[in-house]
Amino acid sequence: MIELRSHARGVVLAVRAQPRARRAGIVGQHAGALKVAVAEAPEKGKANEAILQLLCSALGLRRSQVLLLSGEASRNKKVLLVGVDPDQLRARIHRLTAESRS
């Protein structure tokens, strides 16, 4: 199960990054985190920005709603999703991970 924590401004999502992937997208889950693959290399924040953009697109959020809280230089990241309802987010993530399995 993917870790979601309440935050005063929204929900904190655990993300496992996979930079330099052949294809970008939501891959599934890994150790309680949403696994996200991006083609960009982990240099100068390129992969982090690609991950945040991909999350915006996949979850239907504006870029201003998706903030990197921790894990800038790590594969394990915490991302704040501002103004998001935890139950709706859980449902969206469930759909995304189910699609990645098919």
Q: Does the pLDDT at position 99 exceed 80?
A: no
Q: pLDDT tens digits for 54-85?
A: 999 999 999 999 999 999 999 999 999 999 99
Q: Are 15 and 78 in contact (CB under 8 A)?
A: yes
The predicted model gives 6-14 an average pLDDT of 96
The pTM score is 0.92
Q: Are 37 and 16 in contact (CB under 8 A)?
A: no
Domain boundaries, the chain: 4-101
Task: Tell me how many degrees the CA angle 42-46-51 measures, rounded to the nearest 5.
Answer: 90
% of the chain exceeding 70 in pLDDT:
97
Q: Band of the pLDDT at 102, cuts 50, 70, 90?
A: low
What are the angstrom distances between the C-alpha of 74 and each of 19, 21, 46, 60, 99? 11, 16, 13, 25, 26
Q: Does the pLDDT at position 87 exceed 80?
A: yes
Distance CA 5, CA 50 (A): 23
Distance CA 55, CA 95 (A): 14
The number of beta carbons lying within 10 Å of the beta carbon of residue 101 is: 7
What superfamily would CATH give domain 4-101?
A: YggU-like (3.30.1200.10)
